[in-house]
Amino acid sequence: MHAMVLERIGAPLEWRELPDREPGAGEIRVRVAACAVCRTDLHVVDGELPDPRLPIIPGHEIVGRVDVVGPGVEHLRHGDRVGIPWLGGTCGTCAYCRDGRENLCDHPTFTGYTRDGGFATAAVADARYAFPLGERGEDAALAPLLCAGLIGWRALTFAGDARRLGLYGFGASAHIVAQVARHQGRTVCAFTRPGDEAGQTFARSLGAAWAGGSDQAPPEPLDTAIIFAPVGALVPLALRAVRKGGRVVCAGIHMSDLPSFPYRLLWEERQLVSVANLTRKDGLDFLRLAPEIGIRTQTTAYPLRQANTALADLRNGTFEGAAVLVP
């Protein structure tokens, strides 16, 4: 197999030829057909997440076909198309796992962070955490659903019955969440980097009723704001934009420090929460719903070997939607 490998924090990924790994008990090996690039991959490469396993193959939005089925795997067969997400495994025994909150597991593994991921021609995964994808949809179009879509979906469930929804940072996640929110009858306001006309036009094309810079106020107060951009300075801006009793949801795994802000921005029962990881139920719910909604993902394809270019373009906001690596 070939892979783009992170040898040390901050270094470019290196193209490597590696021996094919055989799946162990309960595992599958997948021939990767597409792997989307997530902002979390940037956080891994930049060393913004604690204790990465090194060297590591990043990538946690994998679409591929089962190549080898390990001992004890009953529900997947050779040739099945599956998606492999960020949540690579959980302990199953901690208080969170027992409580149905496996996204908060005390001893999790994460694809592309603590176990090898999909910036490769093949990947090995715990079969229990892979999602059967069926045959509908193209590989590259499905890949961004596996994190941008899933985490966005989980964040959206935190919006409850909010009718006026604000999305801060209109990247891979928001471009999917906007479509789900519109399908649910919500009004979407999209906030981009100030002056990002292309991003605002893109948001309007996906049904946003209003799009503007993150320094602008929405036309009416929001019920819920979801922050996808890893920018702590957006928190007071979003709190300012939500109504009394409204909620601000931070959907990213990492954010720059929050600036101090006056308590009155939180006052009147406004809430500030974060969303962590995903549960398998989130994945199953969302992947069942996605074809019904007819979600269209906008993707920019890069050859696997150009993973560093894809990461740089994500960092610079060069494309709309999601980057996808194809072997």
Which residues contact Zn ion by CB under 5 A? Answer: 38, 40, 90-91, 94, 97, 105, 147
Task: Please give the torsion angle defined by the CA atoms of residues 209, 214, 216 and 219, in that order, rounded to the nearest 10 degrees.
Answer: 30
Which residue lies nearer to Zn ion by CB, 23 or 58? 58
Looking at the Cβ atoms of 18 and 94, the one nearer to Zn ion is 94
- Identify which of residues 94 and 233 has a Cβ nearer to Zn ion in the complex: 94
Evaluate the omega torsion of the peptide bond into residue 259 and state whether it is cis, within 30 degrees of 0. no
Residue 91 or 266: the one with the smaller Cβ distance to Zn ion is 91
Q: CB 132 → Zn ion: shortest distance, Å?
A: 20
Toward Zn ion, which CB reaches closer, 87 or 97? 97
Q: Does residue 99 sit in helix, strand or coil? A: coil
Q: What's the min distance (Å) between Cβ of 233 and Zn ion?
A: 22
Please classify residue 31 by burial: count the beta carbons closer than 10 Å to its beta carbon, then call 0-12 exposed, 13-18 middle and 19+ buried: middle
End-to-end CA distance of the chain: 10
Burial (Cβ within 10 Å: 0-12, 13-18, ≥19) of residue 20: exposed
- What sign does the CA torsion over 294, 300, 303, 308 have? negative
Neighbours of 205 (CB within 10 A): 13
Cβ 106 to Zn ion, closest distance in Å? 5
Distances (CA, A) of 186 to 160, 161, 291: 11, 9, 19
Q: Vertex 183, ends 180 and 189: CA angle to 5°?
A: 70
Nearer to Zn ion, 94 or 266 (CB): 94
User: Which C-beta is closer to Zn ion: that of 86 or that of 191?
Assistant: 86
Closest CA to 293 of 285, 303, 301: 285
Distance in Å, CB of 149 to Zn ion, minimum: 10
The nearest distance, CB 133 to Zn ion, in angstroms, is 17
Q: How far is the CB of 221 from Zn ion (least distance, A)?
A: 30
Question: What is the full DSSP assignment across 124-170?
Answer: EEEGGGPEE--SSS-HHHHGGGGTHHHHHHHHHHTTTT-SEEEEES-
- For the CB of residue 90, give the shortest distance to Zn ion in the complex, in Å: 5
